Amino acid sequence: MKLTSIFAHRGSKGNRPENTLAAFREALSLEIEGIELDVHMTKDKQLVVIHDETVDRTTNGKGFVKDLTLDEIKELDAGTWFSKEYEGEKIPTLSEVLELVKPSNFTLNIELKNDVFLYEGIEEAVLKEVESYSYIDNVILSSFNHYSIRKCLDLYPTLETGVLFMEGLYKPWEYAKYVGATSIHVYEPAAAYYVQMQEANSIPIRTFTVNKDESIEFFIRNHIDAIFTDYPEKALGIRSQIEREGNK
Residue numbers at the binding site for ligand G3P (CB under 6 A): 9, 36, 38, 51, 111, 142, 164, 185, 208-209, 228
Which residue among 4, 7, 20, 38 contacts Mg ion (CB under 5 A)? 38
3-class SS string, 102-165: CCCCCEEEEEECCCCCCCCCHHHHHHHHHHHCCCHHHEEEEECCHHHHHHHHHHCCCCEEEEEE
Report CA-CA distances (Å) from 131 to 5, 28, 94, 124: 24, 21, 12, 10
Task: Name which of ligand G3P, Mg ion, none residue 233 binds, using a CB cut-off of 5 to 8 Å depending on partner kind.
Answer: none
Our answer to whether residue 51 is catalytic in this structure is yes
Q: Are 110 and 140 in contact (CB under 8 A)?
A: yes
Our answer to whether residue 223 is catalytic in this structure is no
Of 53-112, binders to Mg ion (CB under 5 A) are 111
Task: Name which of Mg ion, ligand G3P, none residue 228 binds, using a CB cut-off of 5 to 8 Å depending on partner kind.
Answer: ligand G3P
* Shortest distance in whole angstroms from residue 11 CB to ligand G3P: 11
* Shortest distance in whole angstroms from residue 200 CB to ligand G3P: 18
If DSSP codes are grouped into helix, strand and coil, which group holds residue 167?
coil
What is the C-alpha R_g of the chain?
18
The residues carrying an active-site annotation are: 9, 51
- Give the binding site for Mg ion (CB under 5 A): 38, 111
